[in-house]
Amino acid sequence: MAVIYADANNFKDNISTGLVLVDFYADWCGPCKMIAPVLDQLSTEMTDVKIVKVNVDNVPQVAQQYQVMSIPTLILFKDGENVAQTMGFQSKEMLTTWINKNK
């Protein structure tokens, strides 16, 4: 499944059903750039998880709603509910383990 870029208008719809990993990022953020290819790989390997990206500079109201204070922040939603949150760069192996633990 391809990575989805969400905005304020479609964010709630994107997280409302299923397992969704949301990456709060910014284009200027070094660790965010490092984690991008990891998320691309996960989007093809973990087909039961939707990957949604939110640019905090373009959609600050969504980042504020979820109290995102540093980036990258990754939040795992299950049927619209926040079930887990982590910050900073994570390897593919670490993210896979974290997602599977919180399914």
pLDDT tens over the chain, length 103 residues: 789 999 999 999 999 999 999 999 999 999 999 999 999 999 999 999 999 999 999 999 999 999 999 999 999 999 999 999 999 999 999 999 999 999 8
Q: What pLDDT, on a 0 to 100 scale, did the predictor assign at position 1?
A: 74
Q: Is 29 a catalytic residue?
A: yes
Active-site annotation holder among 15, 20, 22, 32: 32
Could you tell me where the DSSP H helices lie in the chain? 11-15, 30-45, 60-65, 92-101
First to last CA, the chain: 18
Q: What pLDDT, on a 0 to 100 scale, did the predictor assign at position 11?
A: 97
Active-site annotation holder among 29, 38, 68, 71: 29
Tell me which architecture the domain covering 4-101 has in CATH: 3-Layer(aba) Sandwich (3.40)
Q: Is 32 a catalytic residue?
A: yes
